[in-house]
């Protein structure tokens, strides 16, 4: 299960880097590809916010309930996930307005995009540096199976079934690219990123 979360983070890092490059082009040259940015934000809203973070919440809730002696931070991940979801919604709303010909000042959009990138990166860094190593150190195979039993999309699945389901569900980096992400997948493929079209 940790492998799935870490793999999602690698994929999300690819998209964050793409956004970082688009943000730099926007700030330095005033160049912006709103459709490309919208596709990335849409993926992060549809997959990361609605699936990936839910899996992390189940894992972390199990950890807090069964493995953690004390936690001064409580369920920090769940709170962060809600903040990320709100930030993603705000950016997506702004993108939709722009793509529907509403006038939004370029600097306002650049600021919101920069905030989005920074929040996403800080969150992933926190998980990779603090949460995932702690989980790897204390969770047993039985613990991971107990987590798989609560897997959001296939409760009661074996660990292997949960992993297979996760690979099928990813609409961009999974086994099959969803129609709405084909252009983004092609863009990533030209960058030699790991996406099969």
- Chain centroid to Cα 159, Å, comes to 21
165 pLDDT exceeds 90?
A: no
Alpha-carbon distance values, 125 to 3, 83, 128 (Å): 16, 16, 5
Q: What is the pTM of this model?
A: 0.89
Q: How confident is the model at residue 193 (pLDDT cuts 50, 70, 90)?
A: low
Counting the structural domains of the chain, the total is: 1
- Asked if residue 196 belongs to a domain, the reply is no
- Asked if residue 6 belongs to a domain, the reply is yes
- Asked if residue 45 belongs to a domain, the reply is yes
- Asked if residue 197 belongs to a domain, the reply is no
pLDDT digits (tens, 9 = 90+) for 54-109: 888 889 989 998 988 666 566 788 889 999 999 999 999 999 999 999 999 999 99
**CATH code (residue 47):** 1.20.120.520
Range of the domain at 147: 2-190
- Chain centroid to Cα 111, Å, comes to 20
- Asked if residue 9 belongs to a domain, the reply is yes
Look at residues 87, 12, 79, 7 and name the one whose alpha carbon lies nearest to residue 43.
12
- Asked if residue 195 belongs to a domain, the reply is no
Tell me the chain's radius of gyration from C-alpha atoms: 18
């Amino acid at each position: 299960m940790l492998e799935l979360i870490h793999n999602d983070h690698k994929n999300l890092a690819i998209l964050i880097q793409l956004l970082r490059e688009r943000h730099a082009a926007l700030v330095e040259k005033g160049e912006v590809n709103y459709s490309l940015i919208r596709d990335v934000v849409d993926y992060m809203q549809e997959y990361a916010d609605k699936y990936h973070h839910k899996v992390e919440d189940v894992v972390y809730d199990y950890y807090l309930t069964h493995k953690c002696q004390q936690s001064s931070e409580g369920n920090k991940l769940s709170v962060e996930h809600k903040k990320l979801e709100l930030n993603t919604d705000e950016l997506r709303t702004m993108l939709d307005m722009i793509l529907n010909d509403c006038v939004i000042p370029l600097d306002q959009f650049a600021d919101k995009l920069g905030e989005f990138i920074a929040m996403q990166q800080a969150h992933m860094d926190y998980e990779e540096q603090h949460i995932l190593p702690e989980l790897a150190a204390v969770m047993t195979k039985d613990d991971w199976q107990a987590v798989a039993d609560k897997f959001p999309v296939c409760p009661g699945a074996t660990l292997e079934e949960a992993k297979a389901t996760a690979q099928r569900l990813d609409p961009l980096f999974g086994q099959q690219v969803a129609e709405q992400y084909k252009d983004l997948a092609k863009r990533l493929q030209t960058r030699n990123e790991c996406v099969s079209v």
